[in-house]
Structure 1
Amino acid sequence: MSEKHFAIRTHSRKKDAVLAFSTKIDANEEKNSLTKLFNLLGLDKKKYESKLNLHFEKFNTISKRAENAAVTVDQFAILYNTWRSHSFVQEYKELQKKESIIFQSKDVFLKILNELFDGTKTAQLSDGNELYFKTKNGKEINIEDLSSGEKQLLIILGEALLQKSDSYIYIADEPELSLHISWQEKLTASISQLNPNAQILFATHSPDIVSIHGDNAIEMEACFS
């Protein structure tokens, strides 16, 4: 097949794809998604809003004719540009889904921390996505200024957060060190909330960590007696 014939056939297939696309797309949803994307990119709404509205007004009119392929070259250009921008919209939506999943985990992480701190401190994320704490009086506390037990808690729960709900075997030796008794009691449940797919193995001397998991506890001394 010659390059010329290949180009013609490729162009024809693309034209058919654009025409088919224009009859199926939800123009209002597409416009709203582009508006959100432009805002996310920091574009001045005054500079694009009227142009975007006009573009989709034309698109709605032309797309009705596209069913019969009765469009001019200029009209096809509007359909084609919408078809091209659709890929950006799809990528934006995929990013939104991923962002939602990421922030959902972070929200659970913050919720667990704040429940464990029980009002003595509040865990928050900065605009730069950095974790910090505030006291009841509103004073900010950096992680390095936390107690050893609080840092230990962050390390344990932070590791569970980083597992992203993947199947992990979570192994820790004496995780109760420096932890408040009430935190020890809630430790396994907190890890399971962050990663329901984690299998947790603790070597511990703390009855508070074992607590409700007594049926799953193995006394190592009994294994070697």
Structure 2
Amino acid sequence: MESPFLCASAPLWLTAQVIGWSLLLQLTIGGCLAWLLAHRSGPGYQLLDALVTLPLVFPPIVLGYGILLLLGRNGWVAQWLPAPWLPDIIFTPAGLVIAAFVAGLPLMLKPTQNAFATTPQGLRDASATLGYSPWQTFWRVDLPLARRGLAAGLVLAGGRALGEVGLSLMLGGNIVGRTETLSLAIFNQVLDGNLDCANQLSLLLCFLAIPAFLLLRRLGSL
């Protein structure tokens, strides 16, 4: 039987890159959104919360089509930008990163938001009394106390990105050798009738998911 690393070495490397970049976006954008929603309230923030939670319940294909209409070469954004400024996103690895980020954002947001919301306000007030700025309070109080929720969110978002198919099909195009991730490679191998490779790749995905599961169990028991 052919090794999964031989029948899909390019998708495996691409998947690692996509997950890495998407987790960087989760850590920065997702972390900021989680802190904002944990400490702010009002109709506008409720709408923002609903929008970022949408991928949990919205069909991925439909959501991907909406992003395609927004970011495509003839999309809504393209109508407002000069041609040289148009981002090359759709049917590129950048599209896969956006797909992984959007799909994993709710799973990143909720545990992190809850961790930030449970930070005792007395500690934040004490930090302000000692003369620390809000930014210093975030680094010295909020972030250390929320680290387990943040880590759990990153693991969940990474696992979601690892198995993403619907959004990746719409935004990446499933171009063999260019935008074919590990999950899409399994889909393609099944369509081509290469079940040996599909079986091995599926086992490889399961093997990659086990450490994530054990890490979540560990974070939950701390």
What TM-score do you get using the length of structure 1 for normalisation? 0.27
Structure number with larger C-alpha Rg: 1
Report the structure, 1 or 2, having the larger strand content: 1
